[in-house]
């Protein structure tokens, strides 16, 4: 088999390589990147390896699976484990890599970005611990790609096909994941809760992404909820033309259903199944609070943590400190890592981390090495079942949040995204702000003396396990009462730049715990716009998405 080596600079971002489908369709583009992955595979390399392959069902997944198998065999891969029809959620791949002791996995997804021929595709490589490749490996892929037919496999039928010394095993990617879910959670408790509270309503929206079949298997077939408890649960190649992104803007259908049907528990996951959103008729659970609540109840309610205990907790830097308060209360360590799930893996492998999360709707634990949308949804269900054990009257999501805030106080949190901003303008704004952080911001006060800047820097992380250093992970402006403004440029977009501004403010006065988030954060937001001069640089008056 001959391979054309072409100079292509293909740099993976926060989570793999994401580009427009038409870019992947260019001659040799996909082939080059796939070859680069095999070139960069950690020792002993691809020879005789077992590799898991699957994707979120978006346009071009099936074609890419064929390319990967072909190039993989040429590189000496011994066996591919492929999801039927290429379907495999990101957390399910992580699970199968670990369970089958595979050498790695290739995930075909652009996560929550829209799909279809005119939208996005992506390729991500996970290492043998089931987690995203660390920077050492992604940098090697980049380096390999710079220096850079004929099996046709039927991936619609379950079973193993042999090609000489090589083989492809097509598996039902739902079943292993379902088994894992049953091992982690108290399914009997959830079932008895559902029986004893027939008034409880749930709505899971798969956003036409990969989690549909997983959701159906768990919520309908196993837990016995009525068939109308799931929506948009058949994966579509273009996700129905929508952004498969579980937030208040893009999951608008779920949000309006939850309100119009007065749903007690609404949930959604993203295109590849690693994100989650939890919402009810009267409350939106901010992901920064969600992970903290799960951590707070885990040892009481969830069998997996009853057994393993909580070894430690962690969050990405922009994520609020709600989970830090839980860690202190439970007497365990809490780690602050850069954005992107790959940074949690080392801590988990070292036995220092059990539950972690990102403000970007990512929540998970050391059961795998990816964030896990369905896991978070079932964790919440398990917690609801637990708190309602002896309560004939339904204790809902809002009640749980209220109890949590009364115990810990509340870290008000919001993220503003400015999408598809002109890249030069975004870069200028960012580098000027960085200069300000290191020259003159500290000590400035706003609104009289209410907000005084105590520190300002660019977040840098030293991994406590392998001591690798990651620089330039986001600008932090911290006030003397602990409130924060964080500014980052996205590493996952496929066109222009996305500026993210994160706001956080702590409040523990009882009468101020259940305020509207935007109202609570208004002063901080005004200060950020003043300091960053965002409108002046970008021309943007309003964010594209508010979380």
Q: Which of Co ion, ligand VG1, none sits in contact with 399, Cβ below 5 to 8 A by type?
A: none
The two structure tokens encoding residue 268? 């959604």
Stretch that binds Co ion, among 268-276, 281-289, 347-355, 488-496 (CB under 5 A): 268-276
- CA dist 112 and 292 (Å) reads 23
Are 517 and 413 in contact by the 8 Å Cβ rule? The answer is yes
Which residue among 272, 324, 372, 504 contacts Co ion (CB under 5 A)?
Answer: 272
> Which DSSP string corresponds to 513-528?
TT--HHHHHHHHHHHH
Min separation Cβ 249 and ligand VG1, Å: 15
Beta strands 283-285; 265-269: pairing state? unpaired
247 or 360: whose CB is closer to ligand VG1?
A: 360
Q: How many CA atoms lie within 13 A of 91 on its CB side?
A: 29
**Cα separation values, 439 from 85, 400, 461, 473, 491, Å:** 55, 43, 21, 19, 26
- CA dist 302 and 386 (Å) reads 9
> Which DSSP string corresponds to 249-262?
TTTHHHHHHHHHTT
Sequence-separated (6 or more) residues with CB below 8 Å from residue 309? 299, 354
User: DSSP code of 485?
Assistant: E
Q: Which of ligand VG1, Co ion, none sits in contact with 340, Cβ below 5 to 8 A by type?
A: ligand VG1
Q: Which of ligand VG1, Co ion, none sits in contact with 320, Cβ below 5 to 8 A by type?
A: none
Min separation Cβ 533 and ligand VG1, Å: 21
Min separation Cβ 147 and ligand VG1, Å: 26
186 or 270: whose CB is closer to Co ion?
A: 270
**Cα separation values, 194 from 223, 304, 393, 500, Å:** 8, 21, 13, 39
Give the helix ranges, DSSP H, for 167-216: 173-184, 187-196, 212-215
Q: Which of ligand VG1, Co ion, none sits in contact with 325, Cβ below 5 to 8 A by type?
A: none
Longest dimension (CA), the chain: 76
Min separation Cβ 511 and ligand VG1, Å: 33
77 or 278: whose CB is closer to ligand VG1?
A: 278
Q: Which of ligand VG1, Co ion, none sits in contact with 463, Cβ below 5 to 8 A by type?
A: none
Residue (of 265, 328, 268, 272) closest to 295 by Cα position? 328
Sign of the CA dihedral running 473, 477, 483, 487: negative
Q: Does 274 bind Co ion (CB under 5 A)?
A: yes
Min separation Cβ 374 and ligand VG1, Å: 13
71 or 96: whose CB is closer to ligand VG1?
A: 96
Stretch that binds Co ion, among 158-166, 174-182, 265-273, 341-349 (CB under 5 A): 265-273
Are 380 and 372 in contact by the 8 Å Cβ rule? The answer is no
205 or 358: whose CB is closer to ligand VG1?
A: 358
Q: Does 372 bind Co ion (CB under 5 A)?
A: no
Min separation Cβ 365 and ligand VG1, Å: 16
Kindly identify the residues of this chain, within the stretch 89-118, that bind Co ion according to CB under 5 A.
111
Binding residues (CB under 6 A) for ligand VG1: these are: 14-15, 111-112, 270, 274-275, 316, 339-341, 358, 360, 362, 490-492, 500
Nearest residue relative to ligand VG1 (C-beta): 111
Min separation Cβ 272 and Co ion, Å: 4
320 or 490: whose CB is closer to ligand VG1?
A: 490
Nearest residue relative to Co ion (C-beta): 111
Let me know the angle formed at the C-alpha of 14 by 20 and 137, rounded to the nearest 5 degrees. Answer: 105
Q: Which of ligand VG1, Co ion, none sits in contact with 15, Cβ below 5 to 8 A by type?
A: ligand VG1
**CA 437 remoteness from chain centre:** 29
Q: Does 270 bind Co ion (CB under 5 A)?
A: yes
Question: Does the annotation count 149 as an active-site position?
Answer: no
206 or 396: whose CB is closer to ligand VG1?
A: 206
Min separation Cβ 316 and ligand VG1, Å: 6
- CA dist 159 and 292 (Å) reads 42
Q: Which of Co ion, ligand VG1, none sits in contact with 491, Cβ below 5 to 8 A by type?
A: ligand VG1
> Which DSSP string corresponds to 116-129?
STTSEEEEEEEETT
List phi, psi (to 5°) of 83: -70, 145
Kindly identify the residues of this chain, within the stretch 17-76, that bind Co ion according to CB under 5 A.
none
Identify the active-site residue in 111, 280, 316, 490.
Answer: 111
Beta strands 497-507; 451-458: pairing state? unpaired
274 or 366: whose CB is closer to ligand VG1?
A: 274
274 or 463: whose CB is closer to Co ion?
A: 274
Min separation Cβ 505 and ligand VG1, Å: 20
Residues touching Co ion: how many (CB under 5 A)?
A: 4
Residues near Co ion (CB under 5 A) are 111, 270, 272, 274
Which residues does the annotation mark as catalytic? 111
């Amino acid at each position: 088999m001959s391979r054309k080596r072409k100079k292509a600079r293909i740099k993976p971002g926060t989570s793999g390589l994401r580009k427009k489908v038409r870019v992947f369709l260019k001659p040799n583009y996909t082939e080059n990147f796939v070859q680069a992955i095999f070139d960069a595979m950690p020792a002993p390399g691809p020879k005789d390896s077992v590799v898991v392959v699957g994707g979120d069902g978006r346009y071009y997944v099936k074609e890419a699976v064929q390319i990967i198998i072909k190039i993989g065999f040429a590189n000496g891969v011994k066996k591919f484990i492929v999801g039927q029809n290429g379907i495999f959620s990101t957390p399910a791949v992580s699970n199968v890599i670990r369970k089958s002791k595979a050498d790695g996995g290739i995930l075909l997804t652009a996560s929550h970005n829209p799909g279809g021929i005119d939208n996005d595709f992506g390729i991500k490589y996970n290492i043998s611990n089931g987690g995203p490749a660390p920077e050492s490996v992604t940098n090697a892929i980049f380096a390999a790609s710079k220096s850079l037919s004929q099996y046709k496999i039927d991936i619609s039928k379950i079973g193993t096909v042999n090609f000489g010394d090589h083989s492809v095993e097509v598996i039902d990617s739902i079943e292993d994941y379902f088994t894992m879910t049953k091992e982690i959670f108290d399914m009997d408790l959830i079932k008895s809760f559902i029986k004893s509270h027939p008034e409880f309503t749930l709505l899971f929206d798969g956003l036409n992404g990969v989690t549909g079949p997983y959701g159906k298997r768990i919520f309908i077939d196993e837990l016995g909820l009525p068939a109308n408890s799931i929506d948009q649960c058949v994966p579509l190649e273009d996700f129905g033309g929508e952004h498969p992104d579980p937030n208040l803007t893009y999951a608008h259908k779920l949000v309006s259903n939850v309100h119009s049907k007065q749903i007690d528990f609404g949930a959604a996951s993203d295109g590849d199944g690693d994100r989650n959103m939890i919402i009810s008729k009267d409350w939106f659970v901010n992901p920064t609070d969600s992970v903290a609540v799960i951590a707070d109840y885990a040892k009481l309610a969830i069998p997996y943590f009853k057994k393993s205990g909580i070894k430690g907790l962690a969050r990405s830097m922009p994520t609020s400190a709600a989970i830090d308060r839980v860690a202190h209360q439970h007497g365990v360590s809490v780690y602050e890592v850069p954005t992107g799930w790959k940074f949690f893996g080392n801590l988990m492998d070292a036995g220092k981390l059990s539950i972690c999360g990102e403000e970007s709707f990512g929540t998970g634990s050391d059961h795998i090495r990816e964030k896990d949308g369905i896991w978070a949804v079932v964790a919440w269900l398990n917690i609801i079942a637990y708190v309602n054990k002896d309560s004939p009257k339904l204790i809902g999501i809002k009640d749980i949040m209220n109890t949590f805030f009364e115990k810990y106080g509340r870290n008000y949190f919001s993220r503003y995204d400015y999408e598809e901003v002109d890249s030069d303008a975004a870069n200028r704004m960012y580098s000027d702000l960085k200069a300000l952080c290191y020259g003159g911001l500290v000590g400035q006060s706003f609104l009289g003396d209410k907000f005084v800047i105590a520190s300002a820097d660019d977040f840098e992380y030293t991994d406590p396990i392998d001591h690798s250093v990651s620089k330039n992970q986001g600008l932090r402006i911290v006030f003397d009462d602990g409130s924060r403004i964080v500014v980052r440029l996205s590493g996952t977009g496929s066109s222009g730049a996305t500026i993210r501004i994160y706001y956080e403010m702590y409040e523990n006065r009882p009468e101020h715990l259940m305020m509207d988030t935007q109202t609570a954060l208004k002063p901080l937001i005004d200060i950020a716009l003043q300091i960053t001069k965002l409108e002046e640089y970008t021309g943007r008056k309003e964010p594209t998405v508010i979380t």
